[in-house]
C-alpha cells in the first residue's frame, strides 16, 4: 500500500470512489479545485490502483480541516482509512495545524467510530447541514497531542 499526493490524472478514480461512497457526492469540479488549495490531498494505492483518497486543507493558518475521506467499498475495514487519516493529520500538522476539524453525518457510524478511535471529540451539532436535512456532528482533534501519543 502506498500513500502519495493526488495528481490531476487521479481525478477520475477519486470521483469513482466519491460517487460510490456518498449519497450527495462532491462535484468533479470541486474535487479538482481542491488540488490547487494548500493542504494534504492524498490518494492510497494498492497494486497501482487507487483505493482511497482524502482531502485535508489548512484554514486560518493553524486549523486543519479534513474535507473528505473515502475508501473503495471493496477495501474497507482493512485499516486503509486509518492509514490515510493518520497520514493526512501528520501532513496537516507539518503545515502548521494545531487542531483538526471534521464534519460527519449523524448516522455515519463507521466514520464516527474511526474518528473517535483517533481521539476526535464531538463538539457541536449543526442541524440540517446536509442536502437531505441530516445533521452534521463537528469533531475536533488536538493534533499536537495526537502526535505525542
Applying CB under 6 A, which residues contact ligand COA?
21, 69-71, 76-82, 104, 108-111, 113-114, 117
For the bound state, the minimum distance from the C-beta of residue 61 to ligand COA, rounded and expressed in Å, comes to 24
Q: How far is the CB of 81 from ligand COA (least distance, A)?
A: 2
Beta strands 2-5 and 39-46, pairing class: antiparallel
Beta bridge mates, 103: 138
Supply 73's cell numbers: 467499498
C-alpha cell at position 121: 471529540
Residue nearest to ligand COA (CB): 81
Q: How far apart are CA 59 and CA 26, in angstroms?
A: 19
CB of 29 to ligand COA, least distance (A): 20
Nearest by Cα to 58 from 96, 85, 32, 30: 96
Amino acid at each position: 500500500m502506498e500513500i502519495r499526493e493526488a495528481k490531476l490524472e487521479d481525478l477520475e478514480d477519486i470521483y469513482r470512489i466519491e460517487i460510490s461512497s456518498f449519497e450527495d457526492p462532491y462535484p468533479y469540479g470541486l474535487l479538482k479545485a481542491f488540488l490547487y488549495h494548500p493542504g494534504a490531498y492524498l490518494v492510497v494505492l494498492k497494486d497501482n490502483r487507487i483505493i482511497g483518497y482524502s482531502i485535508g486543507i489548512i484554514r486560518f493558518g493553524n486549523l486543519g480541516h479534513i474535507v473528505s475521506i473515502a475508501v473503495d467499498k471493496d477495501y474497507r475495514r482493512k485499516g486503509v482509512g486509518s492509514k490515510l487519516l493518520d497520514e493526512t493529520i501528520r501532513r496537516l500538522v507539518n503545515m502548521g495545524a494545531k487542531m483538526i476539524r471534521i464534519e460527519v453525518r449523524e448516522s455515519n457510524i463507521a466514520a464516527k467510530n474511526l474518528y473517535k478511535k483517533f481521539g476526535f471529540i464531538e463538539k457541536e451539532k449543526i442541524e440540517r447541514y446536509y442536502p437531505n436535512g441530516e445533521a452534521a456532528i463537528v469533531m475536533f482533534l488536538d493534533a499536537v497531542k495526537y502526535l505525542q501519543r
